[in-house]
Structure 1
Amino acid sequence: MGTTLKIASWNINSVRARTPIVERLLKEEAPDILCLQETKAHNDVFPASFFREHGYVHQQLNGQKMHHGVAIVSKVPLHEPGAHDWQDNGEARHVGARLDCGIRIENVYVPAGGDIPDRTVNVKFGQKLDFVERMTRWSEKLREPTLIVGDFNIAPLECDVWSHKALLDVVSHTPVEVDALTRLQQAHDWIDIGRTFVPAPERCFTWWSYRSPDWTKNDRGRRLDHMWASPALRDVLASHQVLEPCRAWTRPSDHVPLICEIQV
């Protein structure tokens, strides 16, 4: 009989500022592995001891002072760590490791891309597209079973946003970004775990802006966070959850956690 591995992914928007809600997640959901994005903490100030006290003794960090940053904390061993510089500028946006079962887990924080969806006038938008293109080239060569999780900062489907028409020209849902993410997905035949368990066009959001006076009332959400699996893992995917209630926790992130379970 196989073992179930529970993996969580969360753009926490400053791990040190939101340690109380991270602790709540760990106590209520008890994931075996937690992948964090936007930790905003260099490795030397990351709350490593806090996670060790909660049983997450295996840690792979790729931090950066004040900005970006990703981390994998785990109750199970992590091997062969790696960090791709998919933005080609030294920003801390990826960390990965291999699990005992042979599956690699890759944790990524795709750039937001600024406000103007035109790379000729917005350098950040061009960097975002180039980041996804480098991930695509990497995916084409991938030959090992892999889970890639994180904040992709792109909502690909029309039903992944509160209004397709209103957001067509808004960074995160523009056709050029959607096309780029589609090419990335096709490069490895990635399985979109979220939409496997919550089929389109069912509502599924993972992010709500802080700018909204009442995020629950207008529900202007987007599905920016994702979990993808190699085709070889299709038969071991057991479940997927979007923990939407976390958006209402004290001092919340604007993103909510995702959790998937796999049989290993």
Structure 2
Amino acid sequence: MAAITIATWNVNSVRLRAGPLIAPYVERVKPDVLCLQEIKCRTEEFPEAAFREMGYSHFHVRGQKGMHGVAIASRLPLEDLPDEDMCLRGEARHQRVRVAGVELHNFYVPAGGDEPDPAINPRFEHKLDFIARMADCFAARKAENAPMVLVGDFNIAPYEHDVWSHKQLLKVVSHTPVETEGLDRVRKSADFLDVARELIPEPEKLYTWWSYRSRDYRASNRGRRLDHIWVSPALRDAALSAGRDAFTIWEAERGREKPSDHVPVTLRLSL
């Protein structure tokens, strides 16, 4: 049975971290498809040469000046698919390709700012709108039963044990009920499987992000699970048949020199 490994990673500046952080990780893990978020560069500024040195030869980049941008580097051919209308501001936060017969979506959902009130915080309103558009998009396609993988920084920790303190974070952006309920609507819109929680049920704690504000992230361990890999029902067996060993949160990457505040997450998909 053939298998491909898909990785997702918010790298918080691809040009800053391609050499010192991403390349050593790729050498160790060798993901076939690497989905990046918050690349912080225009499309033409993406450091393709550095990724070719890592062994990638196929690229799909949605760049933008500023804090956004998504990119996919792959060892396998990528078919460009039309973008969905997810972002009312037209920011580079989503891309869609087909790889190895699978429709792959890479997301960078808006963070939403600090105040979880759309009436006074336009950034939070934008986040909720983005999530609603995701749900509408996939609900309209549910009947297709297409083999789809959704990955990326969703900027929402959906469950109680996806954060270090459920009670203390209920009013903190990324874990508020309106966000978690919105993300659950996206998941249910096409019966997606949250691979992490299918393979590693609660109450086990799972985190993919630790704030830069923490001097020692290991000691405080105040993390959140913001980075996700979901699959459609058509890929249930492909995602789950190999069990827990096929899914990895690479926590050690948070402890590297000048790391991203997110760590990579991988799934070995048996096709």
Q: Same fold (TM over 0.5)?
A: yes
Q: Determine which structure has the larger helix proportion and give its number.
A: 2
Structure 2 unmatched ranges of 5 or more: none
Quote the offset at 1:81 in angstroms.
Answer: 3.0
Q: Which amino acid aligns with 1:6?
A: T
Write out aligned runs for 1:198-217 (5 A).
198-217=200-219
76-85 vs 102-111, greater mean Cα deviation: 76-85
Residue 123 of structure 1: aligned partner:
122
**TM-superposition CA deviations, 1:126-183 (whole Å, max 9, x none):** 1000000000011112221100000000001011000001001000000000110111
Residue 242 of structure 1: aligned partner:
249
Is the CA contact 2:11–2:260 (under 8 Å) kept in the aligned structure 1? Answer: yes
TM-score (norm 1): 0.97
1:36 paired to 2:43: no
Q: Which amino acid aligns with 1:205?
A: Y
Is the CA contact 2:94–2:107 (under 8 Å) kept in the aligned structure 1? Answer: yes
Aligned-residue sequence identity (percent) comes to 49
Q: What CA RMSD, in Å, does the superposition of the two structures yield over aligned residues?
A: 0.9
Partner SS for 2:149: strand
Q: What is the distance in 1 between the residues matched to 2:261 and 2:153?
A: 12
Write out aligned runs for 1:101-116 (5 A).
102-116=101-115
Is the CA contact 1:37–1:70 (under 8 Å) kept in the aligned structure 2? Answer: yes
Q: What is the distance in 1 between the residues matched to 2:45 and 2:224?
A: 31
Q: What is the distance in 1 between the residues matched to 2:159 and 2:24?
A: 31
Residue 10 of structure 2: aligned partner:
11
Q: What is the distance in 1 between the residues matched to 2:140 and 2:54?
A: 37
Residue 253 of structure 1: aligned partner:
260
Q: Which amino acid aligns with 2:113?
A: G
Runs of 4+ in 1 over 4 A off after TM superposition: none
TM-score (norm 2): 0.95
1:94 paired to 2:94: yes
Q: Which amino acid aligns with 2:210?
A: W
Q: What is the distance in 2 between the residues matched to 1:261 and 1:10?
A: 15
Q: What is the distance in 1 between the residues matched to 2:10 and 2:54?
A: 19
Q: What is the distance in 2 between the residues matched to 1:23 and 1:194?
A: 25
Q: Which amino acid aligns with 1:194?
A: A
Residue 78 of structure 1: aligned partner:
78
Quote the offset at 1:236 in angstroms.
Answer: 0.8
Q: What is the distance in 1 between the residues matched to 2:81 and 2:186?
A: 22
Quote the offset at 1:85 in angstroms.
Answer: 3.9
Residue 169 of structure 2: aligned partner:
167
Residue 186 of structure 1: aligned partner:
188
Q: What is the distance in 2 between the residues matched to 1:66 and 1:80?
A: 24
**TM-superposition CA deviations, 1:201-238 (whole Å, max 9, x none):** 10110000000111111100000010000011111113
Structure 1 unmatched ranges of 5 or more: none
Q: What is the distance in 2 between the residues matched to 1:44 and 1:79?
A: 19
Matched length: 262
